[in-house]
Amino acid sequence: MASFMHCGDIDGLAVKVPGNKWKAGASLVAHTDSHNAIPSATITGNWNGGFTGSSQCVTGSSGIGKISTPAISNSQPSVTFTISDMNYFGLYPYVPGDNHDPDGDSNGTAITINKP
C-alpha cells in the first residue's frame, strides 16, 4: 500500500481559439510513492499570468487528469499552472517535494504554457 502521493508529470498544451484568443491546458499524473498511477485522485491548482483562477480535476483510470483555462487574450504571452493540493479520499498525504517531471518541461509542481 502507498504511503504518500505526488505529481509524476505535468504537460502543457496551448491552442488558438476564435476571436483572437487562445486556451491553455495541462495534463497531470498522480503517483504513489512507488510511482504507480492513482485513478480517482483529485488535483487542485491555480492559474496565474494570462488567466487567474483555480482549477480542479479528477484523474482517470491511468492516473491522468486534465484541466484547461477559459479563452485568454492574445495580448497575454503565457499562463502558469501550479498544483496546490492532491487528494485521494484522504488516504495518502500529498508530498509536493516529491513532484517531478521526467521530460523536464516543468518542475513537477508548476508549468508555464506559452500562447501558440
Residue 91, amino acid: L
Flag whether pLDDT at 87 surpasses 80: yes
Residue 26 in 3-state DSSP?
strand
User: Has this prediction a pTM greater than 0.85?
Assistant: yes
Mean pLDDT on 15-28: 97
Mean pLDDT on 83-96: 96
Flag whether pLDDT at 2 surpasses 70: no
**Which grid cell sits at 14?**
496551448
Q: Which domains does the chain have, with CATH numbers?
A: 5-114 (2.60.40)
Residue-wise pLDDT for 35-54, tens only, equals: 999 999 999 999 999 899 99
Q: Which residues contact 40 (CB under 8 A, 6 or more apart)?
A: 58, 59, 88, 89
Of 33, 41, 30, 32, give the one whose Cα is nearest residue 7.
Answer: 30
pLDDT at 86: 98
Mean pLDDT on 95-104: 95
Name the DSSP letter for residue 36: -
